[in-house]
Amino acid sequence: MRILLTGGGTAGHINPAIAIANYIKEKEPGSEILFIGTEQGMEKTLVPKSGYSIEYIKVHGFKRSLSLSNIKNVCEAFFGVIKAKKIIKKFSPDIAIGTGGYVTGPVLMAASQLKIPTIVHESNAYPGVAVRLLANKVDVVALAMEDAKNYIKGAKRVEVTGNPLRPELFKTNKKEAREKLGLDDRQVILVFGGSLGATYFNEKVISWIASLKDKNKYQIILSAGKNNQYENAIKLFKEKGVNLDDFPNIRVSEYIYDMASALNACDLIIGRSGSSISEMNALKKPAILIPSPNVAGNHQEFNARFVEKCGGARVILEKDLTEEALGEAVEEILGSKTVYQRMVKGAEKAGRKDATETIYKIAKELI
Residues 6+ apart with CB under 8 A from 353: 162, 165, 170, 282
- Kindly report the backbone phi and psi dihedral angles of residue 283, in degrees, each rounded to the nearest multiple of 5, phi listed first: -95, 5
**pLDDT at residue number 75:** 67
DSSP result, 209-265: HHH-S-TTSSEEEEE--TTTHHHHHHHHHHHTT--GGG-TTEEEES--S-HHHHHHH
**pLDDT at residue number 69:** 55
**pLDDT at residue number 195:** 62
**pLDDT at residue number 146:** 80
- State the pTM of this model: 0.77
Q: Residue 335, Cβ neighbours under 10 Å: how many?
A: 10
**pLDDT at residue number 212:** 97
Q: Residue 32, Cβ neighbours under 10 Å: how many?
A: 16
Domains and CATH numbers, the chain: 2-163+353-366 (3.40.50.2000), 169-350 (3.40.50.2000)
* Interatomic CA distance for residues 88 and 104, integer angstroms: 13
164 burial via Cβ count (<10 Å: 0-12, 13-18, 19+): buried
Residues 6+ apart with CB under 8 A from 105: 59, 77, 129, 130, 133, 134
Q: Which residues of the chain have pLDDT under 70?
A: 60-75, 195-197
**pLDDT at residue number 193:** 86
Angstrom CA distances, 255 to 151, 194, 205, stand at: 33, 9, 16
Q: Residue 250, Cβ neighbours under 10 Å: how many?
A: 21
Q: CB–CB of 318/293 below 8 Å?
A: yes
**pLDDT at residue number 252:** 96
Residues 6+ apart with CB under 8 A from 67: none
**pLDDT at residue number 36:** 97
Q: pLDDT tens digits, residue range 307-344?
A: 999 999 999 999 999 999 999 999 999 999 999 999 99
Task: Describe the crossing of helices 299-310 and 337-350 by its angle, rounded to 10 degrees.
Answer: 120
In 3D, which of 358, 359, 23, 363 has the Cα closest to residue 170? 23
